[in-house]
Structures are given as structure tokens and as C-alpha cells.
Amino acid sequence: METTDNAEQLLEKLDIVLNEYDNQHGIKVKLDNKVEQYLNYSIEDFNRLTPDQCGEISAVLAIYSIFIQKEQNRQSARVRWCESVIDNTIAQYISQYKTQFQTFEERKLLAINGNSFTKKLNDLRIKASTRLSEIYGISSKIDLYIRTLLDLQQSKRRNHAS
């Protein structure tokens, strides 16, 4: 029988496989240490930028969005992997939880919580899902900033040309 330690070790092995794949086939992203500063700019900070600075910062944020996308893909893979292992593990004994008035989801949750290995995997799945939700929010913010900076760049160039 699998243990809770095995769940974490198996997930670490998945991370190793994902890292190896990423090293062989992934896009290498060099992060600018000013990204956090850019993501916390105020309206006044934006107004002080030149058109060229708007373009440069939007490029830095676009590169950062590639990094965020890679992290989003990693967390999605972790969620799918946990779900797959959970389903394969509980398939053999989920029928033990069948009563007349329980839905499949209720029986599935009982089966997950009835086994320390699948319970640990479910906890890891929830953690990855939570991280994924956070990443979606960051990703949306970055996209908004990039569009805003490019619009501001065009506006400043038009005003400067007039």
C-alpha cells in the first residue's frame, strides 16, 4: 500500500520529469529583477514613462508572462497527474462506499479520505489547484499591464507627433 511519503516522492519524480522535458524542449526565460516593481506601478509612474520606456517595460512583462505560462502548465500537469493517480488508486475499492442515496462524487470523496495515500494526493492536488488559481490572476494582471503600456505608448507617440 502506498504511503503519504510515497505521494510526495511520486510528485517530486513528476517534477523531475517536467524539469527534464523543459530543459530539453522548453523556452529559456531570463527574468528581469524589476518585474515586481513594474507590476506595482501607479498611474503617476505610468504617466512619467516615455513611449520607448512603455515599449521596453511591456517587452519585459511579455517575457515574464512566458515564465508565468510555464508555471501555469506545470501546476496544471500536477493537478491532472494527482487526479489520475487518485482515480486509478480508488477504482478498486470505490464500490465499497456505495449506498442508495450517495452520488458518485460523494463516494469518491469517501474513498479518497478512506486511504492516507489518496488523501495526501488530494491535498497536493488542492495545493496545486490553489497555486494555479493564483497564477491565473497574475497572468490576467500582466496581460492588462502589457495592453495598457502598449496603448499608452501609442497615445504618447501620437501626442508627441502633434
128 inside domain: yes
pTM across the whole model: 0.77
Residue 91, domain extent:
34-161
**Number of compact structural domains in the chain:** 1
51 inside domain: yes
The full 3-state SS of the chain, as one line of letters, equals CCCHHHHHHHHHHHHHHHHHHHHHHCCCCCCCCCHHHHHCCCHHHHHHCCHHHHHHHHHHHHHHHHHHHHHHHHHHHHHHHHHHHHHHHHCCCHHHHCCCCCCHHHHHHHHHHCCHHHHHHHHHHHHHHHHHHHHHHHHHHHHHHHHHHHHHHHHHHHHHHC
41 inside domain: yes
15 inside domain: no
40 inside domain: yes
Each residue's pLDDT expressed in tens, for the chain with a length of 162 residues: 566 678 888 888 888 888 787 777 666 666 678 998 999 999 999 999 999 999 999 999 999 998 899 889 999 999 999 999 999 999 988 888 777 788 888 989 999 999 899 999 999 999 999 999 999 998 999 999 999 999 999 999 988 776
83 inside domain: yes
127 inside domain: yes
80 inside domain: yes
